[in-house]
Amino acid sequence: MKKSIILLTFFILTACGSIFTNRTLKKIGVLDTKSELRIIKNKKKKIIFLLMHHVGNKDFFDDVAHKIDSLQKLDYTVFYESTRDDKETDSLIKETNGLKLRKLMGFFPGKYLDTAKNVIAGKIKYKEKHKLIEQPNYNKLNVDSLTSIKADVSLSELISEFEKKHTEIKLDSCDFKFSLEDKNYKCKKANKSLQKIFNKDYIKDYRNKYLAKKIINSKKNKILVIYGNAHYYGLSMELYLLGNIRGNQDNRYEI
């Protein structure tokens, strides 16, 4: 099974609470010390996709920062992942959408790691010796804030589109009891069918389509995409459908 599929399952669909073995953690990339770059290109554009993990070790993220810095010096523009709402969005709307996202996923992305309990995504335990950390913010990863481009949809848009086509995500008193920062969240999640639809059609497909259009319509010819590695294959397919831009897992870029 491809690493990206395993990783997506690991973060979103896993329901067990057992400690993962070193072999499994290595397989999904959490213990990687080097990041991987993949080339996607056609005659007009050269796109490099940095396969990001949202949880990893310091060596991995140090390597990510080095590669980002090096590629920006080669005139690559960073297109980065972030579903954070705009500053202008009402704070109550932000909070409500965050609670709805947690209801659908069982945890709030961006709060993947509980180092006090050695738990990832509220479910998966790991051994303390691995010293895992969450993905640092983009400034710490050397992303140039003046030239980089947010190439993602807002959480408000994701939730709104999902509710338009499916059903309202109803919150209860339990959901409001736990803040988004509270890692002891134990409320009833949305039903599994809604979770699967949201994870596949919105967390992945909707955002992949948006990212692909952003790349196709951009005047930039050298683009570095920084996204979770589970998006690589979906983005490659969308780019091929929209602009005959191909990606290949063996087409790796080395720095």
Distance of CA 149 to the CA centre of its chain: 16
Does 239 fall in a domain? Answer: yes
What domain range is 44 assigned to?
A: 3-86+125-154+190-253
Global pTM value: 0.83
State residue 194's pLDDT score: 94
Q: In the numeric block, which tokens belong to residue 53? A: 């993990």
**At what angle are helices 232-243 and 207-217 packed, to 10 degrees?**
50
Q: For the chain, what percentages of helix, strand and coil (3-state, to nearest 5) are there? A: 40, 20, 40
Does 17 fall in a domain? Answer: yes
User: Is the confidence at residue 16, as pLDDT, over 60?
Assistant: no
Q: For residue 28, what are the CA distances in angstroms to 16, 51, 169?
A: 16, 12, 31
Does 15 fall in a domain? Answer: yes
Pairing of strands 119-120, 124-125: antiparallel
Does 160 fall in a domain? Answer: no
* Residue 158, H or E segment: helix 155-165
User: Is the confidence at residue 164, as pLDDT, over 50?
Assistant: yes
Does 136 fall in a domain? Answer: yes
Looking at the 3D structure of the chain, how many domains does it have?
Answer: 1
Does 63 fall in a domain? Answer: yes
Beta bridge partners of 227: 51
Does 226 fall in a domain? Answer: yes
Work out the burial of residue 14: count CB atoms within 10 Å of its CB; fewer than 13 is exposed, 13-18 middle, 19 or more buried.
middle
User: Is the confidence at residue 185, as pLDDT, over 80?
Assistant: yes
* Mean pLDDT along residues 125-133: 75
Does 55 fall in a domain? Answer: yes
